[in-house]
């Protein structure tokens, strides 16, 4: 009996298939060759016939040249760190597409001379926070605080100490801690108060000739309740020692530029500056709703010192980030802000429409129903704040097949039920959720 492996087609013959040629142009030759090689191995093992190799290779091709997959965020967490934090607006995505080619990111087309890098994004940020004398952007929130610390507390003027409340020694995720971050760039920390209470007198007694600045950190990923006290920025802004006003740096964390009615206790950049902060640091990919970036806003002279420091070069943002940030600031409402503005009545209506799209027998088999839900900001923003929402309640066993679908749909389980919360879901994705549940339930209906 002839060995079927002898009939295995040659690699170049399979690669000549028109579909694979087109895929090589779209995905690149490496991914296509991997798919072909795997299909040929299956043919040699007797799992595929020679005529089926090209079809199998085409079927195995990825949708794009990245392992990242689009996920429908039905968790109810608006800024989900594990899902990449803030989803970008369509305008920001289009801006990235424009910036992907040759652009005038650092060129003045009128003169043909070098221009200010990212001037459009910086002008948009300055316009969004008129209380800031100047602005600068680095690659993330931790980088913003690190740059401030390195420049202001480097010790060349004898000042290398940062005064901070014990209750604000925050761990920002994945084991990274603000005190260790600051110490890694040369600062010494002087902790004041206790875990739950700190007073202005604690700060005043800690300030001395070695103090570079006082740091106020919003403990955005946790809340201490009960017998507590903290000192507002406007009181810290008046601290002096030996006739010298001590600079105040406020890390607001989540990047809210102005107050939001749904988050009355979340600090915002404008208010912090009006209360006397010399510098404000924040993230761009949380409540601002933009790309990952670190925002620096404040007194013009200090911001210029930060911008001109050699360390700032290592923290520079790329043109894609600048483009997306500008579009977020000047373009349509980004998804994060849209989610925060959704009413629970509208969310209930959408949830009912999703359930109504399924046959009655499927609804009965799943025990599907519309329930009220409580979402959250996430990403270290507004801890403890519940956002009224609505969800579709399904059997818990659907969680895994929904995550494994295309697109993956991620919900959350509560008391043995899977909730698909619509707070962070764009209405355009509702049909995708309805279809995904049909497939996951094995209903086999279109």
Report the CATH number at residue 435: 3.90.1150.180
Total tally of structural domains belonging to the chain: 3
Residue pair 71/77 in contact by the 8 Å Cβ criterion: no
CA distance 443 to 311: 58
Instruction: Examine residue 371 and state whether it is found in any structural domain, yes or no.
Output: yes
- CB count in 10 Å sphere of residue 235: 16
**Pairing mode, strands 134-138 and 113-114:** unpaired
Rounded to the nearest angstrom, the gap between the alpha carbon of residue 151 and the centroid of all alpha carbons in its chain is 27
**Residue 367 in 3-state DSSP?**
coil
Say what the pTM is: 0.91
- 445 has a pLDDT exceeding 50: no
- 193 has a pLDDT exceeding 60: yes
Percent of the chain with pLDDT over 70: 97
Do 262 and 391 reside in the same domain of the chain? no
Instruction: Examine residue 260 and state whether it is found in any structural domain, yes or no.
Output: yes
Do 100 and 76 reside in the same domain of the chain? no
Report the CATH number at residue 98: 3.40.640.10
**Tens-place pLDDT, residues 82-118:** 999 999 999 999 999 999 999 999 999 999 999 999 9
Last residue of a domain, one of 332, 347, 380: 332
E-strand stretches of 98-224: 107-108, 113-114, 134-138, 161-165, 171-173, 176-177, 188-192, 211-217
Do 133 and 40 reside in the same domain of the chain? no
Do 313 and 411 reside in the same domain of the chain? no
Instruction: Examine residue 361 and state whether it is found in any structural domain, yes or no.
Output: yes
**Residue 82 in 3-state DSSP?**
helix
Last residue of a domain, one of 332, 363, 390: 332
**Residue 296 in 3-state DSSP?**
strand
What pLDDT is attached to residue 221? 66
- 53 has a pLDDT exceeding 50: yes
Do 104 and 212 reside in the same domain of the chain? yes
CA distance 362 to 74: 20
**Tens-place pLDDT, residues 342-377:** 999 999 999 999 999 999 999 999 999 999 999 999
Do 326 and 369 reside in the same domain of the chain? no
Instruction: Examine residue 266 and state whether it is found in any structural domain, yes or no.
Output: yes
**Tens-place pLDDT, residues 380-403:** 788 888 999 999 999 999 999 999
Percent of the chain with pLDDT over 90: 86
Instruction: Examine residue 66 and state whether it is found in any structural domain, yes or no.
Output: no
Q: Give the residue among 90, 97, 115, 130 at the shortest CA–CA distance from 323.
A: 97
DSSP state of 112: T
- 1 has a pLDDT exceeding 50: no
Tokens (6 digits) for 7: 């009939």
Do 120 and 40 reside in the same domain of the chain? no
Do 325 and 370 reside in the same domain of the chain? no
Q: Which has more pLDDT, 384 or 201?
A: 201
Do 137 and 275 reside in the same domain of the chain? yes
Do 76 and 48 reside in the same domain of the chain? no
Do 299 and 183 reside in the same domain of the chain? yes
Residue pair 309/150 in contact by the 8 Å Cβ criterion: yes
Last residue of a domain, one of 332, 350, 376: 332
H helix and E strand count, the chain: 19, 19
- Span of 35-49, 162-176, 256-270 with lowest mean pLDDT: 162-176
Tokens (6 digits) for 60: 């195995």
- 209 has a pLDDT exceeding 80: yes
Across the chain, mean pLDDT equals: 93
Do 155 and 183 reside in the same domain of the chain? yes
Instruction: Examine residue 433 and state whether it is found in any structural domain, yes or no.
Output: yes
**Tens-place pLDDT, residues 314-323:** 999 999 999 9
Q: Tokens 């309640």, residue?
A: 393
Strand partners, 392: 370, 420
What pLDDT is attached to residue 446? 40
Instruction: Examine residue 65 and state whether it is found in any structural domain, yes or no.
Output: no
Instruction: Examine residue 267 and state whether it is found in any structural domain, yes or no.
Output: yes
Owning domain of residue 29: 4-60
Q: What is the 3-state secondary structure (H, E, C) of 150-177?
A: HHHCCCCCCCCEEEEEHHHCCEEECCEE
């Amino acid at each position: 009996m002839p060995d079927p492996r002898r009939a295995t087609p040659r690699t170049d013959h399979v690669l000549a298939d028109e579909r694979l040629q087109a895929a090589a142009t779209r995905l690149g030759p490496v991914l296509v060759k991997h798919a072909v090689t795997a299909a040929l191995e299956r043919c040699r093992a007797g799992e595929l016939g020679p005529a089926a190799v090209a079809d199998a290779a085409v079927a195995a091709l990825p949708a794009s040249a990245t392992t990242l997959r689009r996920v429908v965020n039905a968790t109810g967490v608006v800024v989900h760190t594990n899902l990449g934090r803030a989803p970008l607006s369509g305008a920001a995505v289009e801006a990235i597409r424009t910036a992907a080619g040759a652009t005038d990111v650092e060129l003045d087309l009128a003169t043909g001379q070098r221009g200010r890098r990212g001037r459009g994004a910086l002008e948009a940020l300055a316009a969004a926070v008129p209380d800031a004398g100047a602005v600068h952007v680095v690659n993330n929130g931790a980088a913003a605080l690190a740059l401030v610390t390195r420049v202001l507390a480097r010790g060349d003027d004898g000042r290398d100490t940062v005064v901070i409340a014990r209750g604000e020694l925050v761990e920002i995720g994945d084991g990274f801690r603000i005190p260790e971050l600051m110490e890694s760039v040369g600062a010494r920390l002087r902790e004041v108060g206790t875990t739950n209470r700190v007073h202005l007198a604690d700060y005043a007694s800690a300030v001395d000739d070695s103090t570079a600045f006082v740091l106020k950190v919003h403990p955005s990923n946790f809340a201490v309740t009960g017998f507590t006290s903290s000192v507002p920025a406007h009181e810290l802004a008046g601290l002096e020692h030996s006739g010298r006003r001590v600079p105040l740096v406020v890390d607001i964390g989540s990047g809210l530029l102005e107050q939001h009615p749904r988050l009355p206790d979340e600090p915002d950049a404008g208010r912090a500056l009006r209360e006397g902060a010399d510098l404000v640091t924040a993230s761009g990919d949380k409540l601002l709703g933009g790309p990952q970036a670190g925002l620096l806003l404040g007194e013009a002279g200090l911001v210029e010192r930060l911008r001109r420091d050699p360390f700032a070069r290592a923290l520079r943002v790329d043109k894609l980030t600048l483009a997306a940030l500008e579009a977020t600031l000047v373009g349509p409402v980004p998804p994060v802000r849209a989610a925060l503005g959704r009413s629970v009545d509208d969310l209930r209506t959408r949830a009912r429409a999703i359930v109504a799209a399924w046959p009655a027998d499927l609804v009965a088999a799943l025990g599907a129903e519309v329930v009220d839900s409580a979402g959250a900001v996430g990403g270290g923003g507004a801890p403890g704040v519940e956002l009224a929402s609505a969800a579709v309640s399904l059997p818990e066993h659907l969680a895994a097949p929904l995550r494994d679908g295309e697109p993956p749909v991620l919900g959350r389980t509560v008391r043995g039920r899977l909730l698909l919360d619509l707070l962070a879901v764009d209405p355009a994705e509702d049909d995708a959720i309805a279809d995904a549940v049909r497939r996951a339930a094995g209903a086999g209906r279109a």
